[in-house]
Amino acid sequence: MNFLELKYFLDEKVIQYNTVDFIESDPVQIPHLFSQKQDIEIAGFLSATIAWGNRKMIIKNGYRMMNLMGNSPYDFVMSHSEKDLERLESFVHRTFNGQDFVCFILSLQHIYKNHGGLEAVFARHQEKDSMQKSISEFKKVFFETTPNKDQDEKLFQIPNQNRTHKHISDPMNGSAAKRINMYLRWMCRQDNKGVDLGIWKSISPSLLSCPLDVHSGNVARKLGLLTRKQNDEKALVELDLNLRKFDPNDPVKYDFALFGLGVFEGF
């Protein structure tokens, strides 16, 4: 296919898969449970974090996460007790366990209390053509040591084990950061079809990157959009450049086409 034929083909696939029916089989349904901004972004962040493996299990465990937080994620993050955190320790999704969950809750509380929330942290380091540096800087904030406002002479250390760090990817270390890029699509993309929530207005959808995984990567290679064999940060840059030729204002919409072709059509 030439450029125009490929663009037409992909645009048609976006129309086919970027519909409310997509929500039924995708973890994006978890943040759709809520109406308050903070609930949506926390629910989205946690469910995107565990978005690898069997999709039915991802969704099931996403609902379990919400249930463990009393279906009020923001209130739980800001007002939990020690006993509430103990309840999380039974949670397991593949290699993400209850200790990781507790660490995430404490880190999220720190972000909302001291950094203005998730949107503010992600928006702080955005560049003119990419969110990858912002993702890397977000990870630093998420696991940082910061002054404790209640005890200025001491430092407050976000409790975490080294194992927990692996659950947030860093593009500066060569990762494609698939799950965080998917999360940013959910939060930032202005979707008139009702799938992506688009509640963050401080980050332009033009900066977003396709959530690159085995499905979207394989389809992109078959279509000539990607030559690099590994699904890493360099591959993401290559794919970004090609998708932005089709639509510089909303390049990540083609995630629906690539993912749909790979998962639903076995392209």
C-alpha to C-alpha distance for 67 and 90, rounded to whole angstroms: 13
**Residue-number span of the structural domain to which 116 is assigned:** 23-208
Q: What is the pLDDT of residues 95-114, one digit of tens each?
A: 999 999 999 999 999 999 99
C-alpha distance from residue 252 to each of 32, 65, 133, 171, 181 (Å)? 19, 27, 17, 17, 9
Per-residue model confidence (pLDDT) at position 1? 85
- Return the H-helix or E-strand segment holding 235: helix 233-246
Residue 153: per-residue pLDDT: 41
Nearest CA to 159 among 99, 79, 206, 207? 99
User: What's the number of domains the chain is made of?
Assistant: 1
Assigned domain for 214 exists = no
Residue 238 lies in a domain: no
Q: Is 241 among the domain residues? A: no
Residue 78 lies in a domain: yes
Asked if residue 262 belongs to a domain, the reply is no
φ, ψ of residue 166 in degrees (nearest 5): -70, -15
Are the beta carbons of 249 and 129 closer than 8 angstroms? no
**Segments in the chain below pLDDT 50:** 147-149, 151-155
Q: What is the pLDDT of residue 55?
A: 93
In a domain, 43, yes or no: yes
What pLDDT sits at residue 157?
Answer: 57
Q: What share of the chain is helix, strand, coil (3-state, %, to 5)?
A: 60, 5, 35
Q: What is the pTM of this model?
A: 0.93
Any domain includes 135: yes
∠ CA 48-54-55, rounded to 5°: 55
